[in-house]
Structure 1
């Protein structure tokens, strides 16, 4: 029987293996400096931090260790956002993998957890938007240099996540009880049980992208592009294109890669959904 940490590692591997995943690295598509094998190595590298979470370590320390291990490959940031979702989920799975338990894990985070979260930014470059002028001392891109300001204000990791909403849907999961992650798990469980998990993963990714404009796309390419991408995903989903016209989905995926449009937040939520489904034995691999 796999431990929660092992299921989290497997979720990361299944997420990148899902194909097609428009705008993201998958088995058929690499980005210019970020390739499929970098994601495989990132998932394996994150194992130690995930095991710390499974053993009951503090969320911040486990996350920082997971990111450090993830970063030990040549592609840079592969799964930072996914790990920010998976670490509290793995921690919660020690008791019960349910929304109230995950909410309690997040509510129990401390200033020390927030400091470790900031230190994780020293490990790898993460694309984030510019903060408001009054929040510049707390800009996460400053990494450990921002820790004194963080400590002066007494902000916990949950406080930091709350200040990142509505512009970051990974942070939004923290303040909504991982609402979309649990919904993704239910969709995976309800999908055709005879279909490969990688195909079900691609279908759930497309459904999540259709639900909400991706916040990473909005930050990097603008809200209009994010809405356009979400609308295209909804149109493909409405006509069941993965089954009836898979070439159209492949074309969409190729187009987003060519344009440098990456719905990476949707991929992060997909990974979290995969973990929950694996832990609940709603999908089998």
Structure 2
């Protein structure tokens, strides 16, 4: 029987092997500066931080250590958002016999100011695509890294509070504040589907992408592009567009639904923890 850490690593590996995932790196498609091997190395590198989560360490500390290990491969940021989802999920799976969306949400909601400080510190290890902060929020720009700590402590902001402030514009933050609902729903799809798990993961990815615009695409491009991508993913689901052709096009256009990939990795972890056979 695999441990939560082993299931988290396997989830990261299965996510990147799934194909086609329009716009994402998979075993058939890469970007010039972001390759399949980088994601495999990032998954392996994240293990020390995931072990911390499994052993009961604070979420922020475990996350920052996971990011440090992930970033040791030459491409830098490969799975930042996925790890931000996986760390509380691993913590919940390790701490509760009744692993569920509710117990994962309990872990997220019990985070502290120290967790928020460690989360900000994680941004010092990799470049992460983020929007400029809203007016008046410059002191909480995540790009400040540890320099934001005085403000976090002064305002007594926990990591959950930080996620709440970003939930409207960031799909990973929204998962934290909405009981990881999309991750658990996609896990249901994966479990109920059949065939190789990597293919089920790719199907879940397209379903997630079709259901809601990807917030990373909004940051990378704009809302109109994100909406277009979702509409075309829906057509691919319906068989009106070849998913493989769509994947090739999105790679050419540098359209990367990174948040959807993060959710897919989280869904795979949930399904594996609930007994998905691989």
Q: TM-score range by the shorter chain?
A: over 0.9
2:137 maps to 135
Q: Distance in 2 between matches of 1:145 and 1:31?
A: 33
1:190 counterpart residue number: 192
The partner residue of 1:249 within 225, 236, 243 is: 243
Question: Is the contact made by 1:187 and 1:204 (CA closer than 8 Å) also made in structure 2?
Answer: yes
CA distances 1:11-42 after superposition (whole Å, capped 9, x unpaired): 00000010111111100111121100000000
Q: Which residue of 2 aligns with 1:151?
A: 153
Output one character per residue of 1:172-192: Cα deviation in whole Å (capped at 9) or x when no partner.
000000000000100000112
Aligned mates of 1:133, 1:146 — CA distance in 2: 16
Q: What are the Cα deviations for residues 64-88 of structure 1, in whole angstroms up to 9, with x where unaligned? A: 0000000000011000000000000
Aligned to 1:272: 266
Alignment of 1:10-159 (within 5 A): 10-94=10-94, 95=96, 96-159=98-161
Q: How far off is 1:133 after superposition? A: 2.1
Normalising by structure 1, we get a TM-score of 0.95
Three-state SS of the structure 1 residue aligned to 2:131 is coil
Structure 2 match to 1:284? 277
C-alpha contact (below 8 Å) 1:50/1:87 kept by paired residues: yes
Deviations 1:97-149 (A, max 9, x none): 21111111011100000000000000100001111121111000111111111
Q: Give the equivalent residue in structure 2 for 1:7.
A: 7
Instruction: Provide structure 1 residue ranges, at least 5 long, that are not aligned to the other structure.
Output: none
Q: Which runs of 4+ in 1 moved over 6 A?
A: none
Question: What is the alpha-carbon distance in structure 2 between the residues aligned to residue 198 and residue 134 of structure 1?
Answer: 44
How far off its partner does 1:207 sit?
A: 0.4
TM-score (norm 2): 0.98
Q: Distance in 2 between matches of 1:54 and 1:89?
A: 9
Q: Structure 2: which 5+ runs fail to align? A: none
